[in-house]
Structure 1
Amino acid sequence: MNKFMEVLENVLMPIADKLNNNRYLTALRNGFMVALPLIIFGSIFVVIANLPFLDKVLSESALESYKNALDPASAATLSIMGLFVIIGIGYKMVEQRGGESIYGGVVAIGALLVLTPQVLDGTGGVIPTSAIGAQGMFLGIFSAFIAAELYQYFVNKKLTIKMPAGVPDAVSRSFSALIPIAFTLTIFLVIRIIFSYTPFDTVQNFIYTIIQEPLTVLGSGLPATIVAVLLIQIFWFFGLHGQIIINSVLDPIWFTLNDQNLAAYQAGEELPNIVTKQFIDTFIVGIGGSGMTLAVLIAIFVVAKSRQNRELGKLGIGSGIFNVNEPVIFGLPIIMNPMVVIPWLLAPVVVAIVTYFAMATGFAPRPAGVIVPWTTPALISGFLATGNNIMGSVMQLINMAIVFVIWVPFIKVIDKQYYESEKNAA
């Protein structure tokens, strides 16, 4: 066991540290955080628009009018979520360098729009929502990274217009950003022109064909999901926020898969993907936090005799219901505790496998693409994430039972040590 932990520490810790401090992944993570309130807003109205039994209460025409009235909420947020993420990434990239962060967001979205061909529909040019939604996410992310770097490079080279004293500050800053933005967008225009002479025709087609589509297929599979879940647990074991590290890398893939399911759900079609953002967030992390520790707290209440564990259970259960599990992480403890490494690593992986096959066989519904706030308690979140399907809650209940069974023997061993220690101290 000690040798195993030593290998993990020597191999994974340097990698995790670099990922955690990488400025591009940090900007990517923070960019998604900027978009999150809008994504959740749109998801809430998807749930409201698809409440169960509405077709029994409303006439067909009334139901259609009801949905049409609420559809703009998701169309203006979820359908173009890439737009908000890209603005957030550009903003955060320039903010990290101490520059005028608002222009980082502006130049990022400008770069994407320069690369995105407009479609003529008889009334003029229009930009397809797919280009600024999940499908265009990868191009948007790369565009935001490059545009923000170019903009800040030109600023650092003093390629700016200096206005005389007395000019209002807002006007001065606007002119200061003029040349860096112009140079940056000119480079993107040249890139667009070059790609128009290639078989791909557009940068969007190139990114989607060469990068996004293969990564999305890979990320939707069970093996990649198991690796991701296992890495989250390993990083947490060594005191690093595994979820943030892994989400920084895989969120673009998981959100793309999520968006595909949402489009199918709204169209009344079969949901194409099992693994999505909500597969991870609702059926694994969303059951008490990373490691699914709500079931661990229940195990403590059931079997613990030591005062330390029983107090930990009382302290952690309130926050655990809302998927905040720091009391368990640091109180049991889990970090660097060889007594819990086996259930800590094993339970979420088993749950991921069981949930995947339950959804693949139709026993449980697949995530509908609705983004459920991460603090939503288990059972409720499963119901909402699967499009108001009670079997989503049942799946979460089964997952909790799996974690409970895996953890109970280890909780008994740990609790026996604590109990004996307390008796000796008394």
Structure 2
Amino acid sequence: MNKFMSVLEDILLPVADKLNNNRYLTALRNGFMVALPLIIFGSIFVVIANLPFLDKLIGEEAYVTYQNTLGPASAATLGIMGLFVMIGIGYKMVEQRGGEAIYGGVVALASFLVLTPQVLEETTGVIPTAALGAQGMFLGIFTAFISAELYQFFVKKNLTIKMPAGVPDAVSRSFSALIPITLTLTIFLLIRIAFSFTGFETVQNFIYTLIQQPLTALGSGLPATIIAVLLIQVFWFFGLHGQIIINSVFDPIWYSLNDQNYKAFQAGEDLPNIVTKQFMDTFIVGIGGSGMTLAVILAIFLVTKSRQLRELGKLAGPAGIFNVNEPVIFGLPIIMNPLIIIPWLLAPVVVAIVTYFAMDIGFAPRPAGVIVPWTTPALLSGYLATGNNIMGSVMQLINMAIVFVIWLPFLKVLDNQYYREEQSVQPAE
């Protein structure tokens, strides 16, 4: 076991360190954080607009009016979340370099719009909202990265207009950004013109066909999901925040899949994807935090006798209800503890597999695309994430039972060890 852990540490820790400190992944993660409050706002109104049995209470016609009235809340946030993400990424990219961050966000947005055809069917002068949502997510991310780098490059080359002393600071900063923004947007205009002479016609078609579509198909499958879940657990075992590291890579895929389900849910169509952002957040992480430790806390209260674990349960219980599990991770402890490495790695993988097939056969509903805040307690989060379906809560209960059973024998071994140590300590006279 020690040799195995040593090999894992030698291989994974350098990789994790590089991923965690990569400025692009950091900007990507922080860009999603910028968009998160808006996404949650839209999700809340999706839930309110689809309250169960409301159509029976107020009638079909009134219900349609009610939904149309609340519709702009989600359409203006969830429906175009790619827009907020790219602004956030551009902002954070320039901020990391100590530049004028607001121009990073502005140039990212403008560059994306330069690349985006402003036509919908026969109507010109409009931008399809789909281009600002799931379909445009990957292009928005790449555009934000490249535009922010180009902007900073021109700034560092001092290709700026220096205003004389006494000019208001806001005016001076605006003129200072003029040339870097102009050069950056000109490059993106040339890119758009160049693609118009290719078979793809637009950059959107190129990115979607060659990059986004294959990656989305890969990320929506069970094998990639198992790998992601397993890596999250392994990184946490070595004291690294596994979710931050892995989500930085997978979030664009999971959010894109989530948005597809949301649009299908809004249209009353069959939901196309099982694996989405909410599949991960609600049915795995959303049951006590990484490793689904709410079930572990429950097992501590039910079967342990050592004072150390009982006290840990009292401390970790309230936080675990809201999916904060650092008290368990550092107090059990989970980090570098060979006694619990098997259930720590195994339980989330088994839950992911069981949940996937339960949704595949229709036993449990697929996530409806509603972004539920990660601190939402289990059972309620399952209900909300599946479009107000009680079977979402039932699936979470089943998942908790799976984790409980897998952890039980290992927790008993740990408890017996702690109990013997406590018994061996003679009370002071």
- Tell me, in whole angstroms, the C-alpha distance in 1 between the residues paired with 2:383 and 2:289: 18
- Tell me, in whole angstroms, the C-alpha distance in 1 between the residues paired with 2:121 and 2:265: 27
SS of the residue 2:164 aligns to: coil
- Tell me, in whole angstroms, the C-alpha distance in 2 between the residues paired with 1:189 and 1:124: 18
- Tell me, in whole angstroms, the C-alpha distance in 1 between the residues paired with 2:12 and 2:375: 29
- CA deviation vs aligned residue, 1:64-122 (integer Å, no higher than 9, x gap): 11000000000000000000000000000000000000000000001100000110566
Instruction: Please name the residue that 2:152 is paired with.
Output: 152
Structure 1 pair 38–99 and aligned structure 2 pair: CA distance change class (3 A): same
- Tell me, in whole angstroms, the C-alpha distance in 2 between the residues paired with 1:420 and 1:128: 66
Instruction: Please name the residue that 1:110 is paired with.
Output: 110
Q: Cα RMSD over matched residues?
A: 0.8
Matched, 1:198 2:198: yes
SS of the residue 1:271 aligns to: coil
In the TM superposition, residue 134 of structure 1 has moved relative to its aligned partner by: 1.6
Instruction: Please name the residue that 1:220 is paired with.
Output: 220
Correspondence list, 1:18-417, <5 A? 18-119=18-119, 124-417=124-417
Amino acid in the other structure paired with 2:237: F
Number of aligned positions between the proteins = 426
Amino acid in the other structure paired with 1:327: P
- CA deviation vs aligned residue, 1:134-161 (integer Å, no higher than 9, x gap): 2101000000000000000000000000
SS of the residue 1:339 aligns to: helix
In the TM superposition, residue 261 of structure 1 has moved relative to its aligned partner by: 0.4
CA contact (8 A) 2:120 2:127 kept: no
Amino acid in the other structure paired with 2:66: Y
Unaligned residue ranges in structure 1 (runs of 5+): none
- CA deviation vs aligned residue, 1:228-282 (integer Å, no higher than 9, x gap): 0000000000000000100000000000000000000000000000000000000
In the TM superposition, residue 226 of structure 1 has moved relative to its aligned partner by: 0.2
- CA deviation vs aligned residue, 1:183-220 (integer Å, no higher than 9, x gap): 00000000000000000000000000000000000000
- Tell me, in whole angstroms, the C-alpha distance in 2 between the residues paired with 1:335 and 1:385: 30
- Tell me, in whole angstroms, the C-alpha distance in 2 between the residues paired with 1:132 and 1:414: 51
- CA deviation vs aligned residue, 1:31-52 (integer Å, no higher than 9, x gap): 0000000000000000000000
- Tell me, in whole angstroms, the C-alpha distance in 2 between the residues paired with 1:221 and 1:122: 37
- CA deviation vs aligned residue, 1:296-328 (integer Å, no higher than 9, x gap): 000111111010000000000000000000000
Instruction: Please name the residue that 2:423 is paired with.
Output: 423
Structure 1 pair 336–120 and aligned structure 2 pair: CA distance change class (3 A): closer
Amino acid in the other structure paired with 1:419: Y
Amino acid in the other structure paired with 2:350: V
Amino acid in the other structure paired with 1:7: V
- Tell me, in whole angstroms, the C-alpha distance in 1 between the residues paired with 2:390 and 2:120: 44
Amino acid in the other structure paired with 1:159: L
- Tell me, in whole angstroms, the C-alpha distance in 2 between the residues paired with 1:322 and 1:410: 25
SS of the residue 1:251 aligns to: helix
CA contact (8 A) 2:383 2:393 kept: yes
Amino acid in the other structure paired with 1:31: G
Divergent runs of 4+, >4 A: 120-124
- CA deviation vs aligned residue, 1:364-401 (integer Å, no higher than 9, x gap): 00000000000000000000000000000000000000
Amino acid in the other structure paired with 1:362: G
Amino acid in the other structure paired with 1:40: I
CA contact (8 A) 2:120 2:128 kept: no
Please, what TM-score do these two structures have when normalized by structure 2? 0.99
- Tell me, in whole angstroms, the C-alpha distance in 1 between the residues paired with 2:352 and 2:3: 27
- Comparing 124-133 with 241-250, greater Cα deviation is found at 124-133
- Tell me, in whole angstroms, the C-alpha distance in 1 between the residues paired with 2:124 and 2:220: 37
Amino acid in the other structure paired with 1:240: L
SS of the residue 2:185 aligns to: helix
- Tell me, in whole angstroms, the C-alpha distance in 2 between the residues paired with 1:376 and 1:141: 28
- Tell me, in whole angstroms, the C-alpha distance in 2 between the residues paired with 1:410 and 1:299: 11
SS of the residue 1:346 aligns to: helix
- Tell me, in whole angstroms, the C-alpha distance in 1 between the residues paired with 2:43 and 2:425: 53
In the TM superposition, residue 123 of structure 1 has moved relative to its aligned partner by: 6.3
- Tell me, in whole angstroms, the C-alpha distance in 2 between the residues paired with 1:122 and 1:357: 43
SS of the residue 1:161 aligns to: coil
Unaligned residue ranges in structure 2 (runs of 5+): none
In the TM superposition, residue 58 of structure 1 has moved relative to its aligned partner by: 1.3
Amino acid in the other structure paired with 1:71: G
CA contact (8 A) 2:284 2:291 kept: yes
In the TM superposition, residue 6 of structure 1 has moved relative to its aligned partner by: 1.3
Instruction: Please name the residue that 2:13 is paired with.
Output: 13
Instruction: Please name the residue that 1:2 is paired with.
Output: 2
Amino acid in the other structure paired with 1:342: I
SS of the residue 1:288 aligns to: coil
In the TM superposition, residue 55 of structure 1 has moved relative to its aligned partner by: 1.4
- Tell me, in whole angstroms, the C-alpha distance in 2 between the residues paired with 1:124 and 1:200: 20
Amino acid in the other structure paired with 1:84: F
- Comparing 51-60 with 349-358, greater Cα deviation is found at 51-60
Amino acid in the other structure paired with 1:403: V
SS of the residue 2:353 aligns to: helix
Please, what TM-score do these two structures have when normalized by structure 1? 0.99
